Amino acid sequence: MAGKLAGKVAIVTGASRGIGAGIAKRLAAEGARVGLVARTVEEGDSRLPGSLNEVAAWIRAHGGECVCIAADLSSEEDRKRIVPQTVAAFGGVDVLVNNAAWGRYVPAHQQDMRNLRLAWEINVVTPLDLTQQCLETMKARGGGWVVNLSSATADLPHPAPYDFNERYIGFNLKMGPTVYGSTKAALQRLTAGLAVELAPYNIAVNTLAPVEAVASEGAVELGVIDAVAHYEPLEAMAEAALALSTRPASELSGRIMLSLELLRELGMNGVMSLDGLAALPDYSF
């Protein structure tokens, strides 16, 4: 396939559904050969809809190439298979999208320690581990791009005195995103530091988050979106991830970006469909 990523190879974690599936499809539509990573390979392996095989079928039907890699990202042994399998299939890696995340929305003072460790393992340790594993092949190919997916939950609540009727304070009281948000804040700091460290190798590292909410299967299941949230289509996140996977590292690296703000900054007036063939109808920002 011809496109902005023709000849490139990407890895996308959490690619069985939601934002990860959208990003994988968008990168493939621009010519990338994609390593699709998730636990859910077949439909029915999870209570949530979506599977790697479904995403792979879409990519292949649109003329793209991909490989499905079943992995539990909390397992170091599983993580060690992802880059080698992608390299074996396609010869290297140019783009790493760390999309997969995990968390339990419970107040931090009530958080189970096992869940605490699991959130940090998947949301912070895994992106660093996979980035380290990709370095050799990215350096050999002259550079690369790492896109880490973050969240608005990384934003700090305003300090006391508290207005308990204020929406974000109420969200913290009701949903308890403190632990999950803390992992995403750590990921953002990790991103900024890695961007400096990897600049000599022409490797861009950026963090991307939706402006507020994308109604993905996981977000709906967890109940972490509400009636007054600003929704954006997952296509906007996919378009922003594509931008962060194609711009020179010397120009765009070390950024903690919101999707729509990035698209505005780059002068993009609309969002493309996942196949890249048309502007998304009835959506403007």
- Give the catalytic positions in this structure: 180
As a whole number of angstroms, the distance between CA 272 and CA 25 comes to: 12
Determine if residue 31 is left, alpha or beta; phi over 0 gives left, psi from -120 to 50 gives alpha, anything else beta: left
| Count of Cβ atoms closer than 10 Å to residue 149 Cβ | 25
Helix, strand or coil for residue 9? Answer: strand
Cα separation, 21 vs 14, whole angstroms: 7
Residue-wise burial string across 178-197, b where 16 or more C-beta atoms lie within 10 A, e elsewhere: bbbbbbbbbbbebbbebbee
Helices (H), the chain: 18-29, 52-61, 76-90, 113-120, 126-140, 167-175, 178-198, 217-222, 234-244, 259-265
Give the N- to C-terminal CA distance of the chain in Å, as an integer: 29
Task: Give helix 178-198 / helix 126-140 axis angle, nearest 10°.
Answer: 20
The Cα–Cα gap between 20 and 99 comes to 6
